[in-house]
A = this chain, B = another copy of it.
Amino acid sequence: MRRTPPRRPTIKDIARRAGVSESAVSFALNGRPGVSDATRERVRRVAEQLGWQPSTAARALSGEGAATVGLVLARPARTLGVESFFLQLVSGIQEALAARRFGLLFQVVEDLGAECAVYRRWWAERRVDGLLVVDPRAEDPRPGLLDELGLPAVVVGAPDGPPGPPYAAISTLWADDTAAMTSIIDHLHTLGHRRITHIAGLPELAHTRRRMACLRAEAARRELPDVRSVTTDYSDAQGAEATRRALTGPRPPTAIVYDNDVMAVAGLAVAAERGLSVPADVSVVAWDDSALCRNTHPALTSLTRDTPAFGRRAAEHLLSLLNGAPPHRIQDATPTLLPRASTAPPPRGEDPAGSGAPHGET
């Protein structure tokens, strides 16, 4: 039952239709001298009429590249889902790639080992010209691997510590998580909060470590002993569980900072289930603004940024690398805190020194 697909137009078809030789077509379409302007114009018009496109496969074999960039997301399947950050990032990436007719080869894998295996395979199969690398780790094998394979890449988010060996074609595009976390602590501290819990994401991610380090430094500087971070897998289940543990502990927080929107929403539900009012009993801040943060009740105080624009810039930097531009470390705009209804001063009678009377056990 399978029909033969229609034949894709070839150089030969164009030559026949335009009434010129095949080499004239080749010269004309490749912008090389050797044909008149009139012939070049006619050939291009015929090629367009026939729907001719240079085959990606032919381009790849001739060394011109696959016109494709790769993106691998290594997250356990159970944590995929409502995080809005990722689809917004991809929509921005697509915008930049579409303008240059590049495709995005996309794969979801379970872990970093599988991600590295995908990179080796894509390289061996000439599938991609370069990569967008997300979720940088504290000890990250990926930049070294991609450098070894000669695959240009943009690492989205800064690696921890020094930039590492001077890789030939690996840029980083990063936002200042430390400044962003400081703005959250400023906001809560100014409102009067002294006991703050930070419900963080995956402990192996570089930005998780930076946020936690910033929180510790700010707590020390402001002399706040009851400020701490706990890590999770970003899922609503672990966000809810961490919230429950924090609120039933010996010195419960009067404010909770969540590393993503999904966990913040799960935290709101835990507070409601325990009869705690937000923000009267406990204040809540979410790291990534989204439709979720705007639509809870109360709406969530959140860190906002233009995520599609962030993705667009990452893809543009990668395209520059593919054009032979040198690599850069590029700092993107710092996310800004948008106060909404979920943050307020702590309940009256809360001892600023944190004497530890549990609250909210209604």
Question: Is A262's CB within 8 Å of the partner chain B?
Answer: yes
Question: Is A224's CB within 8 Å of the partner chain B?
Answer: no
Whether B326 and A297, one on each chain, are in contact in the complex, defined by CB atoms closer than 8 angstroms, is: no
Whether A105 and B107, one on each chain, are in contact in the complex, defined by CB atoms closer than 8 angstroms, is: no
Q: Which residues of B contact A121 (CB under 8 A)?
A: 53, 101
Whether B84 and A299, one on each chain, are in contact in the complex, defined by CB atoms closer than 8 angstroms, is: no
Number of interface residues of A (CB under 8 A): 81
Q: Which residues of B contact A290 (CB under 8 A)?
A: 81-82
User: Known interface pairs A77-B91, A108-B91, A236-B291. Does A5 touch B273 (Cβ–Cβ under 8 Å)?
Assistant: no
Q: Which residues of B contact A126 (CB under 8 A)?
A: 8, 55-57
A302 to chain B, nearest CB (A): 13
Whether B297 and A268, one on each chain, are in contact in the complex, defined by CB atoms closer than 8 angstroms, is: yes
Whether B104 and A292, one on each chain, are in contact in the complex, defined by CB atoms closer than 8 angstroms, is: no
A260 to B46 alpha-carbon distance, docked (Å): 47
Q: Which residues of B contact A123 (CB under 8 A)?
A: 8
Give the oligomeric copy count. Answer: 2
A224 to chain B, nearest CB (A): 29
* Binding stretch for chain B, among A135-143, A145-153, A185-193, A202-210: A145-153
Question: Is A87's CB within 8 Å of the partner chain B?
Answer: yes
Q: Which residues of B contact A308 (CB under 8 A)?
A: 77
Whether B103 and A292, one on each chain, are in contact in the complex, defined by CB atoms closer than 8 angstroms, is: no
A257 to chain B, nearest CB (A): 17
Pick from B57, B108, B120: contact of A57, CB under 8 Å:
B57
A251-273 CB mask vs B (1 if < 8 Å, else 0) is: 00000000001100110110011
Pick from B68, B88, B269: contact of A297, CB under 8 Å:
B269
Which chain A residues in 288-316 approach chain B with CB under 8 Å?
A: 290-292, 294-297, 299, 308
Question: Is A1's CB within 8 Å of the partner chain B?
Answer: yes
The 9 A-B residue pairs whose C-beta atoms are closest, nearest first, are: A5-B150, A57-B60, A53-B124, A272-B297, A236-B291, A106-B106, A81-B84, A56-B125, A266-B295
